[in-house]
Amino acid sequence: MDLTARSALDLSRLITTREVKPSEVMAAHLDRIAAVNPGVNAVVSLRDPDRIMEEALALDQRRPEGALFGLPLAVKDLLNTRGIRTTYGSPLYADHVPEADDLIVARMRAAGAVLIGKTNTPEWGHGSHSFNPVHGVTRNPYDLSRSAGGSSGGAAAALAAHMVPLADGSDMMGSLRNPAAFCNVYGFRPSWGLVPTDAGAETFLDTMATEGPMARDVADIALLLGVQAGANPLTPFGQPAEDYLAAVQAAPDDLRGKRFAWFGDFGGQLPFEPGIIATCEAGLKTLTDLGAEVVPVQLPVPAEELWQAWITLRSFLNFGSKGHERRDPSRWEQLKPETRWEVETGAAVTPEALYRASKIRSLWYARAHEMLAEFDALVMPVAQVWPFPAEWRYPDIIAGRQMDTYHRWMEVVVPVSLIGLPALAVPVGSGEDGLPTGIQIAGRHGADAAILAMGEAWHRATRWPEKYPPRI
């Protein structure tokens, strides 16, 4: 039995029924990490394997308790982990070891997960290519010369390469969705507020970034979301959790009666590399085969207006969190150029620009939910490019169109991110060179269980991660 190929839910069942010991699950995954991580570089700051095994052996003697009992988990390196080095990908924090867990980490640890280390990310999560001066670059398990995406690129690559059974990630600008598409796994951006932030940070204005789950199937997404979700009484805008696993397990095998709005290339407003749209549209046949109706639609708000609102709000928030670094030249010079761009752009945001950005955001929220009164979900590509060479910082040209920022090449994720919709990135196949891509299925705010149920029907019909594993 290859335990690294089993789902988290299967492993949990095997541990609960005493068919497999937590130490056996851990040993299999540590062996897998030793074998493939040197080439992929997805798991970083790995703890001493002997100490990890001591913890797993101790669990062998305990009654299984918690949804993640005995499962190995590597936490994204943007979250603080008690006693485990947390660098944020920054040389400023290369030796930082937190004394306390962030809230979501504490929830996953309390659910019985064994924390083994971290997963790699771009410095400060800025950009969708996971490289940094502390840990280097994470490579795509489907082609080690290519990017695994980001900023949850380490998490997606570790999942695809069977180094962990499930993973956490975060998503401000597609960071749970883009790497999922690059690595042929599932990534779920929850409704904003469902998975809460920690108290102490700015929690009223910053309403775009969220933590969430990644996995190789939708049931595991639901399993981890059930652990992560639920309001934090110390922060505003919290959303109540539901039984997501029950919703997925009760999902029908078909999508009869469902209607999906397909945005395609946004009426030519966004550039895509050759083959992306064709691969996505070929994959959409799965929806119609399952009995759904897919209707091509136009974006009701110009894409350029959404983009300008996005960079205004994002840079404003990044200036708020990182602007103080400009006061110390020795620290400022160590920040990556993309982070300095965010801060400098945010410093120039005027009150008028900020208000206009918020108005556009509000308009799009209203228009999107008008559409979602007619459709069960909005569907669009996850990525505008195929996984690109790992040596690049980012793609600067798509289909002959020059990108004017470091993140313009992933503009397709902005409609979801800007208004905090729940969105599930699902694998949709690969191009001629075998590199994966995906689509995102987004619903109204609060429709997380419904989106996951539809995603489960997709998974049962396709099983892309199982049918098309990486050959490493």
Q: Give tens-digit pLDDT for 292-345.
A: 999 999 999 999 999 999 999 999 999 999 999 999 999 999 999 999 999 999
Q: Which domain holds residue 161?
A: 3-467
Contact 177, 423 (CB under 8 A): yes
**Residue 362: pLDDT over 90:** yes
Pairing of strands 72-76, 114-119: parallel
* Torsions phi, psi for 442 (to 5 deg): -115, 145
Q: What's the pLDDT band for 2 if we cut at 50, 70, 90?
A: very high
Residue 185 forms part of a structural domain:
yes
The mean pLDDT of 232-257, rounded to a whole number, is: 97
H or E element that contains 283:
helix 276-283
Number of Cβ within 10 Å of residue 301's Cβ equals 18
Q: What's the pLDDT band for 364 if we cut at 50, 70, 90?
A: very high
Active-site annotation, residues: 76, 151, 175
**CA atoms of 204 and 362, how far apart (whole Å):** 16
List of residues 6+ apart from 63 with CB closer than 8 A: none
Q: What's the pLDDT band for 19 if we cut at 50, 70, 90?
A: very high
Q: What per-residue confidence (pLDDT) applies to 409?
A: 98
**CA atoms of 311 and 3, how far apart (whole Å):** 43
Q: What is the pLDDT of residues 253-276, one digit of tens each?
A: 999 999 999 999 999 999 999 999
**Residue 92: pLDDT over 90:** yes
> Tokens 């969105």 map to which residue?
423
Number of Cβ within 10 Å of residue 149's Cβ equals 34
Residue 472 forms part of a structural domain:
no
List of residues 6+ apart from 14 with CB closer than 8 A: 6, 20, 25
Does residue 330 have a cis peptide bond before it, meaning omega lies within 30 degrees of 0? no
- For the chain, the C-alpha Rg in angstroms (whole number) is 21
Q: What per-residue confidence (pLDDT) applies to 1?
A: 85
Residue 189 forms part of a structural domain:
yes
**CA atoms of 109 and 113, how far apart (whole Å):** 5
Q: What per-residue confidence (pLDDT) applies to 471?
A: 86
Which class for 328: exposed (0-12), middle (13-18), buried (19 or more C-beta within 10 A)?
A: exposed
Please, what is the Cα angle at 94 between 93 and 98, to 5 degrees?
60
**Residue 472: pLDDT over 90:** no
Threshold 0.95, pTM exceeds: yes
The mean pLDDT of 345-363, rounded to a whole number, is: 98
Residue 136 forms part of a structural domain:
yes
SS3 content of the chain, % helix, strand, coil (to 5): 40, 15, 40
> Tokens 């789902």 map to which residue?
7
Q: What per-residue confidence (pLDDT) applies to 325?
A: 97
From 219-223, 244-248, 461-465, 467-471, the region with the lowest mean pLDDT: 467-471
Looking at residue 191, the DSSP 8-state letter turns out to be P
**CA atoms of 172 and 206, how far apart (whole Å):** 10
* Three-state SS at 430: strand
Q: What per-residue confidence (pLDDT) applies to 70?
A: 98
- CA distance readout (Å), 39 to 52, 277, 324: 22, 31, 37
Q: What's the pLDDT band for 431 if we cut at 50, 70, 90?
A: very high
* Torsions phi, psi for 431 (to 5 deg): -85, -175
**CA atoms of 234 and 151, how far apart (whole Å):** 27
Structure tokens belonging to residue 305: 């207006």
Mean pLDDT across the chain, nearest whole number?
98
Contact 377, 443 (CB under 8 A): yes
Structural domains in the chain (count): 1
User: Where residue 200 sits, what CATH number does that domain have?
Assistant: 3.90.1300.10
* Torsions phi, psi for 436 (to 5 deg): -80, 165
Q: What per-residue confidence (pLDDT) applies to 193?
A: 97
Contact 211, 168 (CB under 8 A): yes
The mean pLDDT of 154-159, rounded to a whole number, is: 99
**Residue 182: pLDDT over 90:** yes
Q: What's the pLDDT band for 201 if we cut at 50, 70, 90?
A: confident
Residue 245 forms part of a structural domain:
yes
* Three-state SS at 440: strand
Q: What's the pLDDT band for 150 if we cut at 50, 70, 90?
A: very high
Contact 340, 332 (CB under 8 A): yes
The mean pLDDT of 208-218, rounded to a whole number, is: 98
